[in-house]
Amino acid sequence: MVPSDSTAQFHGAVGDHRPAIARYSDKRVRANASNMTIPGYDSSNVVEFTLEQAGAHIAVVAGVVPDGFGLVKNGDEAPVDALGDPVEIQSVGGLKAVEAIEIRLVYDPSRLPPGASPTDVAVAIETDEGWEPLKSTVDLEETTVTAVLNDRPPGSTVVAGYDDTEEERAE
């Protein structure tokens, strides 16, 4: 049984060839490196974490991944153009020597505004300046959006959201 606060902690280290373990109080979940790999990286060097209740998945290749690293549902109010619930990346500040981070989020296409393209979706991250869309790829069949970063993210709260930045640039 997963606790109602949907928290989890990740335990593992990059380069450690044992499967990573996420702990939900009394439940252990193994994050198998073959579930999702970051293109161009050896799956044995990818540390992963999934928060199924929020439809969120993160994979990281870094020199140091802290023990508290993981995902938790964020109780804060989502931005108006959110297509899913916000998720907090825990202990993101403790990541060191980051080579790649892949963030994959499920989104609800029925929440897109009328007339919006189904590909106008991005992973957005909350920064000091507000919500910033990240360069993302949309999988229409799986209704997921994925962003790949080559450094630690500029914030820790992420959400799948409607991204009309291309339209704004065209105006």
pLDDT digits (tens, 9 = 90+) for 12-71: 444 333 333 333 322 223 344 334 567 777 777 788 999 999 999 999 999 999 988 999
- pTM (2 decimals)? 0.76
Domain boundaries of the chain, sorted by first residue: 9-170
Q: What is the DSSP string of 93-155?
A: GG-EEEEEEEEEEE--GGGSPTT--TT-EEEEEEETTEEEEPPEEEETTTTEEEEEESS--S-
Task: Tell me what the mean pLDDT of segment 99-115 comes to.
Answer: 95
